[in-house]
Structure 1
């Protein structure tokens, strides 16, 4: 059965469906080999379904639910609904040819997150960037990108920011090294506007920004930036995302999540308070102007 015609992003709903399929197979005391013998679904396909690598076709899902003796109509429809809704965010689909799979996966998870804890050492957090700053920083980081590619990436970044403007906004807690604000990206005017806008957004009730000043010395965030995404349903584990020159990395391993959460707590403790951070940002604006 061909479930791999198009590889979907591992969205939260797809992960939840995969977990349900693993649980149902375990409850039925069936190995993957036994499922293949009784349904014709290959072990490779079943593995990919159970690890959120692919989304099942309707007939495949029905075959599994029949085998696992899921007879309750509502339970079956709930699982089919998870499958139908597990696709990529619609607005993101038009950018698939330009964005890496890892970055698109991060955006898909971010769309479903309740809270993001983000530490940045060299950049203003993407969810808080102005259009001019985003344009300058993307062009600088990707020197071979065409103007059109830069513009498309900026549009994606601005679209992501709508999460902070919706009726139930994303909760964002950002801790940023002062170095990110001292680097004059795009020129003094662009940077001053970025810092002014950042101070305004940091005053929103669902946004917190803390700055780690230079005089704090060495701190546990110096090895690199990271984000921890948390979700409304406690059944959905937190996800850690790190971005580096070697590639992006996702993990929901409990030890890794605990380590990054502890690191974030340490960073909060060495940073100045949100109120003092806003004052620091305003002072930096004055210096630039």
Structure 2
């Protein structure tokens, strides 16, 4: 049974997370009723893949479909009313809907619903911490096929996402940045210095912990690459690992996968500089940037 009172006080409302929650509940009731996906698809007159995608949260379901599905399972009226309402909420548009043409996957919706984020990044400053100038320079360098309007939309949604850090009930953010992130002058000297100053400002927020993993650590637990762990408030909302890539990214939801990445993150955090030492390093780099080191390889 879902605690509706808790649902109403949750600040991180997101149709994406409601779609996931609805899918979990529908699957639970189907299994409790001993009904197969094939039977549900036949009764609804749809494909088994549609039913499966509803249960995994990849597809939304109309209130009418949810009502019909629950009739098959024989659930009582109060549970049916509750889940039909969640189906209505799951079909509402998120704040990011106007930018859907430049977004891939469900990441922003899940990020909006999360209570905490743990991230390791080895190439670039994460979107939640980027300055606008850095974001523009980064996207221009990485997305060569984007038109100017698409680029502007990507930057706009990236800046709006940062409201999660300063809203009334801000998200808890813990980030480990590889020192390489601070060494690459995205956008040139002025833009990168501005980005470092932005990192200093954000790192001082009480809900943000920023640590730098120095080169001197050598090989470490996260050598395989960047990842984000999204954790949710409600017990029924499964935490998820997100691995970004050029085609939209990969979500890992199995408990053993989650445990593995939590272990990796905790290990990397333990190897990184403390938050205070990391802040001191960034402040020093504003004055003496790594990309201006005389030891660097010449052009």
Q: Give the alignment's TM-score, normalised by structure 2.
A: 0.87
Output the CA distance in 1 between the equivalents of 2:230 and 2:42.
Answer: 39
Worse-superposed segment, 21-30 or 45-54:
45-54
- Counterpart selection for 1:30 from 35, 39, 43: 35
Query: Secondary structure at 2:125's aligned position in 1?
Result: coil
1:90 maps to what in 2? 94
Output the CA distance in 1 between the equivalents of 2:172 and 2:98.
Answer: 27
| Preserved contact between residue 176 and residue 212 of structure 1 (Cα < 8 Å) | yes
Q: 1:22 to 1:272 in 2, by over 3 A?
A: same
Query: Secondary structure at 1:158's aligned position in 2?
Result: helix
1:6 maps to what in 2? none
| Preserved contact between residue 89 and residue 108 of structure 1 (Cα < 8 Å) | no
Deviation at residue 246 of structure 1 after TM alignment: 6.3
Deviation at residue 276 of structure 1 after TM alignment: 0.5
1:20 maps to what in 2? 25
Per-residue CA deviation, residues 218-249 of structure 1 (Å, 9 max, x unaligned), is 22222211100000012222100111346511
Q: 1:36 to 1:155 in 2, by over 3 A?
A: closer
Output the CA distance in 2 between the equivalents of 1:59 and 1:13.
Answer: 16
1:110 maps to what in 2? 111
Output the CA distance in 2 between the equivalents of 1:189 and 1:261.
Answer: 36
Q: 1:284 to 1:48 in 2, by over 3 A?
A: same
- Counterpart selection for 2:80 from 41, 55, 76: 76
Aligned-residue CA RMSD (Å): 2.0
| Preserved contact between residue 11 and residue 88 of structure 1 (Cα < 8 Å) | no
Aligned positions, number: 277
Tell me if 1:57 matches 2:58. no
Q: Tell me, which stretches of 5 or more residues in structure 1 are unaligned?
A: 1-8
Output the CA distance in 2 between the equivalents of 1:39 and 1:145.
Answer: 41
Deviation at residue 84 of structure 1 after TM alignment: 1.4
1:1-289 equivalences under 5 Å are 11-73=16-78, 75-87=79-91, 89-100=93-104, 102=105, 105-245=106-246, 248-288=249-289
| Preserved contact between residue 221 and residue 267 of structure 1 (Cα < 8 Å) | yes
Output the CA distance in 2 between the equivalents of 1:47 and 1:241.
Answer: 21
Deviation at residue 87 of structure 1 after TM alignment: 3.7
